[in-house]
Amino acid sequence: MAKLVIGHFYPDLLNLYGDRGNVLALAVCAQRSGIDVEIKQISIGDDLKEDDIDIGFIGGGQDSEQNIMNDDLVNVKGPVIKNMIENGTVFLTVCGGYQMLGKYYREHDGSVLNCLGVIDYYTEGEKERFINDTVYELTKEDGSTVTCIGFENHSGRTYLGEGVQPFMKVVKGHGNNGKDGFEGMRYRNTFGTYSHGSFLPKNPEVTKMLLTLALRRKYGEDFEFDFKAVGAEEEARKAALKYIETGKEQMI
Partner 1 sequence: MRKFIGRATAKTTRKILRLMGKGATTLPGKLALKADPSIIAKEAAGKNIITITGTNGKTTTSHMISDLLNELGYDVINNISGANLASGIATTLICGKDEIKKTDKESKGTVYVLETDEAAFAKIAGDLKPKVSVVTNLFRDQLDRYGELTHTRDLIAGGIDKTEAKLVINSDDSLVASLGKGREDRSLFFGMDKESMRYNNEKYPPRKSLIPASPDAVYCPQCKLRYEYKARSFGHLGDFYCTGCGAKSPENRFSVLYDLKESPSKEGYAFQIKDSATGTVRDQTLKVPGSHNLYNTCAAISAVTVMTEILENNGGASADIFGKACGSTGKISAAFGRMEKFKVKNKDVCILLVKNPVGLDRSLQFVSEAEDAGALYLLLNSNFADGKDVSWIWDVDFESKAEDFPENIYVSGQRYGDMLLRVLYTGRAVTASGEEKEMKDIFDRALSECPDGKCVYVLPNYTSMLALRAMLVREFGIKDFWK
Q: Is 148 a catalytic residue?
A: no
DSSP per-residue letters across 96-162: HHHHHTSS-EE-TTS-EE-----SSEEEEEEEEEEEEEEEEEEE-TTS-EEEEEEEEEEEEEEEE-T
Handedness of CA 222, 223, 228, 229 (dihedral sign): negative
By the rule CB under 8 A, 165 interacts with partner 1: no
- Using CB under 8 A as the binding rule, the residues of this chain from 121 to 150 that contact partner 1 are 131-133
Nearer to partner 1, 2 or 24 (CB): 24
Among 12, 36, 50, 128, binds partner 1 (CB under 8 A): 12
CB of 25 to partner 1, least distance (A): 7
Nearer to partner 1, 20 or 103 (CB): 20
- Using CB under 8 A as the binding rule, the residues of this chain from 57 to 76 that contact partner 1 are 62-65, 67-68
By the rule CB under 8 A, 201 interacts with partner 1: yes
Between CA 49 and CA 44 the distance in angstroms is 14
Nearer to partner 1, 139 or 153 (CB): 153
Q: Is 108 a catalytic residue?
A: no
Nearer to partner 1, 6 or 160 (CB): 6
By the rule CB under 8 A, 77 interacts with partner 1: no
Between CA 93 and CA 223 the distance in angstroms is 25
Q: Count the site residues for partner 1 by CB under 8 A.
A: 52
Contact 193, 17 (CB under 8 A): no
CA 224 to chain centre: 24
By the rule CB under 8 A, 39 interacts with partner 1: yes
User: How many CA atoms lie within 13 Å of 244's alpha carbon, on the beta-carbon side?
Assistant: 18
Integer-rounded Cα Rg, in Å, for the chain is: 17
Residues 6+ away with beta carbon under 8 Å from 156? 99, 105, 123, 124, 125, 126
Nearer to partner 1, 39 or 80 (CB): 39
Q: Which residues bind partner 1 (CB under 8 A)?
A: 8, 11-13, 15-21, 23-25, 27-28, 39, 41, 43-44, 62-65, 67-68, 131-133, 151, 153, 196-198, 201-202, 230-233, 235-240, 242-243, 247, 249-251
